[in-house]
Structures are given as C-alpha cells and as structure tokens.
Amino acid sequence: MSVSSRYRGAWEGFWREAPGEQGEVFWDAEPALTVGVHLGLLEPHLAARDLPFVDLGCGNGTQTRFLADRFPRVVGTDLAAAALDLAQGADPAGRARYRLLDAADKTEAEALHAELGDANVYMRGVLHQAEPDDRQPLADGLATLAGERGRVFLVELAEAAGALLRELAQGPDGPPAKLVPVFRHGIAPGEVADAAVPEYLRAAGLTVLASGDLPLVTTEHLPDGTRIELPSKWLVAGRAG
C-alpha cells in the first residue's frame, strides 16, 4: 500500500509554504540538539558504519547534511517533492543525495534497498503523524531498507506530548506561530501509544536493541523565552543476530 493522496498533499502544501531558512519550521532544530545527540545513542549498536545512511522523512535536509558530514553515503528521502527542493537548494555541494520515497509502499522500499543494499536508517517524528493504517507498512519499509545488517534509529513523540501540544494550541494567544502552519495543513501529530511503537518494529521483523526517553527539541519558544521541548521515545532496532 502507499500513503493517501490527502496525506501526501498535506505535506506538499506545508513544504511549499515553508520558509527556506533553517530553524523556521517547528521541528527544524539545530543538528547538535537532535541528530547529533541521537547518533551518540545509535553508534554503539551499528553493525557497519560504511553502510549507506538513509534519513527517512528528511524534510528540508537539516539533519541529512549533518549526517553527510559524518558518513560516506547519505540519502535524504521524503514523500514531498517540495521538501526535497528545499533540501537540495540548501546543499549546493551535493554532500547528500535526495530522492522521493513513500516508505509505506513496499515496492518503493524494495527498489531503494535493491539500489543501496542494506542501510542504516534515521527517522525522527514521522510515525506518530502518519495515518493509522500507514504505520505498520511504514515500519515494514524501515525493515526492508535496513535489511540484515542495517540499524534503525527511530524517535517519536511520547503519548504525553499530545496533551502538551493540545495545551499549546488552546492557549489564550492561540498556538505558537510555528505550530500554526502544521495545524493549518492538517498534519497535526496523531496519538500513538508508547507501547505500540516497538510492536510495529517487532511485527516488521526487527528486534529492539536499545530504547529510552529524550525531549524532542523544537525551534519554538514560550512567551517567557523557554524553548518548547516535547517528551519523546527513542529506539534502536535491527535484525536479531
């Protein structure tokens, strides 16, 4: 199966309107606060550093470029062509490659794996806002890309983040400015039970090798200047053995 046209269209619309500057999108935090932290958790579990590295749901490529400075072959993938336009525009030297990918589509995931071979995969905050019927196919796509030797690093909003986001959206001054376009395009984060995330991975044939809690750092601040951080869960997974 592949994602719905409504879902794809929502992301195309969001990225077409998104400012090109890094940090202007709600979740587009500096890599030192995001993927840089996550790599420290993933690297002890990597079976092979020389595998291609796929940034799945790369958006405008901020985290992809960070990965490309540290790994020899990095591919940023996204469902939205408008996101990839921004990512390529911000990477004139071509440090990474970029390509359109619907990872919930079995054929597309298999085709990319056939091209790259086994890959390490980084995915931040994609599963929780996918439509419910797409979540298991998306996890299956992660397993396909990882193959036998690759590792998956997944970080997703925790259940507790839902209440915090609703509180922010319903504040007396309305939602923070950088959350407004997220809600307007109909891609507000969904509710995924904390216990469901590892189950999606296990059902895809992956073993959870490590997990923990971390704040998901955003680029938005409260009126008092405090940076908004959302509770999140991270997991490292791969084939058993």
Mind giving me the DSSP string for 191-240? ---TTHHHHHHHHTT-EEEEEEEEEEEEEEE-TTSPEEEEEEEEEEEE--
Q: Which pLDDT score is estimated for 188?
A: 67
Q: Which pLDDT score is estimated for 122?
A: 98
In contact, 25 and 219? CB cutoff 8 Å = yes
Mind giving me the DSSP string for 133-153? HHHHHHHHHHHHHHTTT-EEE
DSSP-derived letter for residue 52 is -
Per-residue pLDDT of the chain (241 residues; tens, 9 = 90+): 566 788 888 889 988 998 877 788 888 899 999 999 999 999 999 998 899 999 999 999 999 999 999 999 999 999 999 999 999 999 999 999 999 999 999 999 999 999 999 999 999 989 888 888 999 999 999 999 999 999 999 999 998 888 888 887 787 777 778 888 887 888 766 678 899 999 999 999 999 999 999 998 898 888 888 898 999 999 999 997 6
pTM: 0.94
**Structural domains of the chain sorted by starting position, each given as residue range(s) with its CATH number in brackets:** 5-238 (3.40.50.150)
What span, in angstroms and rounded, lies between the C-alpha atoms of 229 and 225?
12
Task: Determine how many CB atoms are found less than 10 A away from the CB of residue 29.
Answer: 22
